[in-house]
Structures are given as C-alpha cells and as structure tokens.
Amino acid sequence: MEYGIDGLKDQSRKPHNIKNVKVTEELEKLVLELRLNNRFGPMRIRFRLKRKYGVSLGTKTIYNILKIHKLNVLSVKLNSVGKKYPSYYLIGVFYRSLKSAVFIISFFFNQRLYMF
C-alpha cells in the first residue's frame, strides 16, 4: 500500500533507459568490407569486429546494415551458365537431385533407402 489508490492507475509504458548507440560510417564500411572481401555472415562479422576492433554490434544490427546495402543474401555464380542464384536455391536443387537419385536406386535394386 505504498501508493494507495493512485497506485492502481495505469503507469507509463515508456522505457526507463534508452541506449543511443549509432552505427557510424566507419563501422558500416568495416561491415561491408568484411562481407564483400571474406563473404562472412552476420555472426562471423560480429565475432571479427569484437576480436579485431573491439566493437560490439548485434547480429541483427549487422544484418540490417547488409540489408540496407542489399548484401543480406549472397549470390553464387555458376560458371557453366553464368547466371547468379542465391545460395539457398542451389542447396534445394542439390537436395532434390539427391532425393531423385535415391528413388531411382531404390526402384531398380528393390531396396529401401530413406532420405530425411
């Protein structure tokens, strides 16, 4: 009963403390440099920034920086065709071809092979 009847009223929902940590252009350049030169993802970029430069940024912040510059999805260039595809697309193609190969082997040799 510290506040009495006034304690039952709605309280303000705004946060008590706000950290105003801004990403500088230098940090942005470091993130983009690590992405383009080494093809690192947000977690590895975060690790490198912390270890080499002593800068602590969240993985979501790094991802947002990459997304602004449209570098959030790495593309893979196929040499035979010359087209660029996202890396997750190639994994799906590989999985589907592997699955069909398992089906063909199991069909011709009358053995059950399971694909997860």
Region of 26 on the Ramachandran plot (φ > 0 left; ψ -120 to 50 alpha; else beta): alpha
Q: How many CB atoms lie within 10 A of CB 33?
A: 12
Question: 22-65 pLDDT, tens per residue?
Answer: 889 999 999 999 999 988 899 999 999 999 999 889 999 999 99
Please check whether residues 8 and 58 belong to one and the same domain: yes
Do residues 90 and 64 share a domain? no
Q: How many domains in the chain?
A: 2
Is the model's pLDDT at 9 over the cut of 60? yes
The domain in which residue 26 lies consists of 1-72
Could you tell me if 73 and 86 are in contact, meaning their C-beta atoms sit under 8 angstroms apart?
Answer: yes
- Shared domain check, 115 and 67: no
What's the confidence (pLDDT) of residue 116? 46
